[in-house]
Amino acid sequence: MHRSDEPAIREISVADKEAGPYGIVAGPDGALWLTFTHSGRIARLTLDGELAEYPLDSRVCRPAVITVGPDGALWFTRSQDHRIGRITTRGEAQSFPVPTPDSGPFGITAGPDDAVWFTQLNTDRIGRITGTGEITEFALPVEGAFPSAITTGPDGALWFTLNQANAIGRITADGDTVMYPLPTPGAAPVGISSDGAALWFVEIAAGQIGRIAVDGGIKEFPLPDRTARPHAIVAASTGDCWFTEWGANRIGRITASGEIAEYDLPSPSSEPHGIALGPDGALWAALETGGVARVAP
């Protein structure tokens, strides 16, 4: 049964299971840009469903998260061959090796300083890359922390999840770091997003959504289904965040007061991963089984 206030959800097939749509972002050209993590491609999807695919120089580089850089190009992590990729809106691609071997770059975001910042899953580092490909790395004061997603906060610092250290980290453009432990043990935070006032993140192992203020105060909001495995989160506006439930085949929404609504995706077991606010004001999620979902509030 559908309530009148439920969003309209439409799925669009963009690939097969072998491609694995994973990361998604709205580009500066009014289209959606996706990573195809299994086939080593970047894809561009227009709002009317026109798809273009750009093969990268390695089929097995595993492109993961994608963001718009300060230069108007799309920047993405290549988690398997440990490079940072860049592609223009015309489809011209290049990549840059991360200095530390086997670093496993994953999360990526435009920084407050005309550079792009990224996490290194395997080496407990945060990286910074300039528009010309110069990389600086900042070692974190923890081991085996698995830094995952990263975003620029409302305070002009970079905020990131420490999946295995059960904490949220903050790093300034100068490299000063602070760690904020989570109240719930073993929560395993992944996605993080700024709503302009605070940071919101998901706890994939605890089935909760968290909110951290820039002063480090944390609130946690349990999902109705604690086994839903929330994965990525994006703010549509202040106090209005949307997230993917990878384990429950749903898209969720949380308000500033912690009110949660959840919506089933049409296709079963579609494995929703990345989520982005589209140029049309709808939410768009990448489905690893080969599609995207458009959620119109």
Read off the pLDDT of residues 149-208 as tens digits, 9 standing for 90 and up. Answer: 999 999 999 999 999 999 999 999 999 999 999 999 999 999 999 999 999 999 999 999
Centre a 10 Å sphere on the Cβ of residue 107 and count the other Cβ atoms it contains: 26
What's the pLDDT tens digit per position in 175-189?
Answer: 999 999 999 999 999
Q: Give the integer Cα–Cα distance in Å for 288 and 147.
A: 22
Contact between 118 and 110 under an 8 Å Cβ cutoff? The reply is: no
Q: Can you give the pLDDT at residue 6?
A: 84
pLDDT band at 4 (very low <50, low <70, confident <90, very high): low
Q: Which of 80, 106, 241, 84 is nearest to 162 (CA)?
A: 106
- Checking if the pLDDT of 64 tops 50, the result is yes
Return the half-sphere exposure (C-beta side, CA atoms, 13 A cut-off) of residue 113: 15
Residue 80 lies in a domain: yes
What's the pLDDT tens digit per position in 38-50?
Answer: 999 999 999 999 9
Q: Indicate the annotated binding residues for substrate.
A: 231
Average pLDDT over every residue of 247-275: 96
Q: Indicate the annotated binding residues.
A: 231, 271, 288
Q: Can you give the pLDDT at residue 5?
A: 73
pLDDT band at 1 (very low <50, low <70, confident <90, very high): very low
Structure tokens at 238: 């202040």
pLDDT band at 2 (very low <50, low <70, confident <90, very high): very low
Centre a 10 Å sphere on the Cβ of residue 211 and count the other Cβ atoms it contains: 20
Q: Give the integer Cα–Cα distance in Å for 98 and 137.
A: 9
Residue 276 lies in a domain: yes
Centre a 10 Å sphere on the Cβ of residue 129 and count the other Cβ atoms it contains: 23
Residue-wise burial string across 27-47, b where 16 or more C-beta atoms lie within 10 A, e elsewhere: bebebbbbbbbbbbbbbbbee
pLDDT band at 16 (very low <50, low <70, confident <90, very high): confident
Q: Can you give the pLDDT at residue 297?
A: 84
Contact between 127 and 159 under an 8 Å Cβ cutoff? The reply is: no
Q: Give the integer Cα–Cα distance in Å for 14 and 175.
A: 39
Q: What is the span of the domain harbouring residue 196? A: 8-296
- Checking if the pLDDT of 93 tops 60, the result is yes
On average, the pLDDT of the chain sits at 96
Residues of the chain by 3-state class (helix, strand, coil), percent to 5: 0, 50, 50
Q: Indicate the annotated binding residues for Mg(2+).
A: 271, 288
Q: Give the integer Cα–Cα distance in Å for 127 and 118.
A: 5
Q: Which of 198, 190, 192 is nearest to 216 (CA)?
A: 198
Residue 218 lies in a domain: yes
Q: Can you give the pLDDT at residue 17?
A: 78
Question: Catalytic positions, please?
Answer: 273
Average pLDDT over every residue of 119-136: 98
Q: Report the range of poorest mean pLDDT among 15-19, 29-33, 120-124, 243-247.
A: 15-19
Residue 3 lies in a domain: no
Q: Can you give the pLDDT at residue 159?
A: 99
Q: Can you give the pLDDT at residue 140?
A: 98
Bridge partners, 226 (sequence order): none
Residue 192 lies in a domain: yes
Residue 148 lies in a domain: yes
Residue 1 lies in a domain: no
Structure tokens at 44: 């561009």
Residue 129 lies in a domain: yes
**CATH number for the domain harbouring residue 194:** 2.130.10.10
Q: Give the integer Cα–Cα distance in Å for 129 and 120.
A: 13
How long, in residues, is the chain?
A: 297
Query: Considering the entire predicted model, what is its pTM?
Result: 0.96
Quote the number of domains for the chain: 1
